[in-house]
Amino acid sequence: MSDFLERVQSRTATVGIVGQGYVGLPLALVFTEAGFTVVGLDSDPRKVTALNKGESYIKHIGAERVATAVGTGRFRASSDFDKLAGCDAVLICVPTPLGHHREPDLSFVVNSSREVAKRLHRGQLVVLESTTYPGTTDEDVLPILQQTGLKTPGDFLLAFSPEREDPGNPDFHTKTIPKVVGGVNKDSTDAAVALYAAAIDTVVPVSSARVAESSKLLENIFRSINIALVNELKMTFDRMGIDIWEVIEAAKTKPFGFKPFYPGPGLGGHCIPLDPFYLSWKAAEYGIWTRFIELAGEINTHMPHFVVGKTVAALNEDGRSIKGAKVLVLGLSYKEDIDDDRESPSYEIIELLRERGAQVSYCDPFFPVARPGRKHDIQLQSVPCTAEAFSGYDAVVLATGHRQFRDPSLYAKVSLVVDTRNVVRLPHGAKGRLVKA
């Protein structure tokens, strides 16, 4: 391990990062900016070509940053996994989706681990960053690597360090977000801590890979359950004629013992809608039934139905049937001002409206054309983000609070706006109606 630490300290170590998406690409840039040689591996040749041209395919990661990294000569993207043979450290940043029956799908992790195993060499550090259930690193990844005949810690090192990306957050980014690290043994922990500390401001070592895996799940389960709580309260207070947003503003004036969470049309992103169920699945192996996680999932997945129900009721009040009504959904991204639509509830809302007979369109400046996803393919193109375009619809449903959608003038000629994010303000003198959902 001393040779590895020396290469890290001297910045002569080469870091290979498998997966150049929302986690892998910013990590590759941070290591490049710290002086390391970085190989970004991805199976998508379009991403590889774009990166090597100095272009970015992720909106919140500026092309100038990618171009600068390429210009140093220390960062190259590739689809050739044989490049891993020349890497001192390999970081695996691949998706961990759910299957059709909400079971963990580790196929990307397993396949990547097999590719790494083919090129594994003595002194190499392997780190899994993909969110998963406790035990994945030492129960699934380790056996694959040991099939080579090499062992840890004598021959290679293995650790887990959960990604903590928050796309579009102006206050925190990869370098400044503390990095939790846990190895399958002490030498592996020490090596991974040394590597990350060379590029990231704060590294938090823990006693094992299982603790590191569990910490990520706790973070996301905490958010999932609290969002479910406030979503349930939104539906409850709505029936009582009470504005949940005003309630939250009042409650958060308490300087202790309260943390505000905000309701919405459902959960999106790769983490919160999926990760809690990894623990539910694993817990069942131990005879434990995670009722809080399951209940939170039930409430959060119901929210698109609540939004559609509010839209139908509001149209009825205006003397309109949902069948044949023209409805515009604002936003495909799962959160504001980013181009990430993974697991976005907007798709569910669109499909539910279509099932009710509505003629549905969408507007999102980040998605001129809707791309097919894991579960949805709406086959639509964005309408212009103008007041004139909006005026042609019987109802406008705001699902994502993009900055562009906060201009009151957009709604000057809209008869009905259904706002799920509490961001719409109708202009003075507008004749339309605003409904919160």
Active site residues: 271
- According to DSSP, the β-strands at 395-398 and 326-330 are parallel
Contact at 8 Å (CB) between 16 and 79? no
User: What is the spatial distance between Cα 77 and Cα 63, in angstroms, rounded to a whole number?
Assistant: 14
Residue bearing tokens 């495909």: 332
Q: How many CB atoms lie within 10 A of CB 160?
A: 35
User: What is the spatial distance between Cα 54 and Cα 65, in angstroms, rounded to a whole number?
Assistant: 8
DSSP alpha helices (H): ranges in 91-205?
107-119, 136, 142-146, 186-197
Q: How many CB atoms lie within 10 A of CB 291?
A: 9
Contacts of 287 (CB under 8 A, 6+ apart): none
Contacts of 423 (CB under 8 A, 6+ apart): 398, 401, 405, 406
Partners of 181 in the beta sheet?
Answer: 205
Q: Which helix (H) or strand (E) holds 275?
A: helix 275-285
Contacts of 2 (CB under 8 A, 6+ apart): none
Contacts of 427 (CB under 8 A, 6+ apart): 408, 409, 411, 412
The DSSP annotation for 364-385 comes to -TT-SBPPP-SS-----BPPPS
Contact at 8 Å (CB) between 127 and 92? yes
Residues 67, 70, 73, 75, CA torsion sign? positive
Contact at 8 Å (CB) between 349 and 399? yes
Contact at 8 Å (CB) between 311 and 437? yes
Contact at 8 Å (CB) between 395 and 315? yes
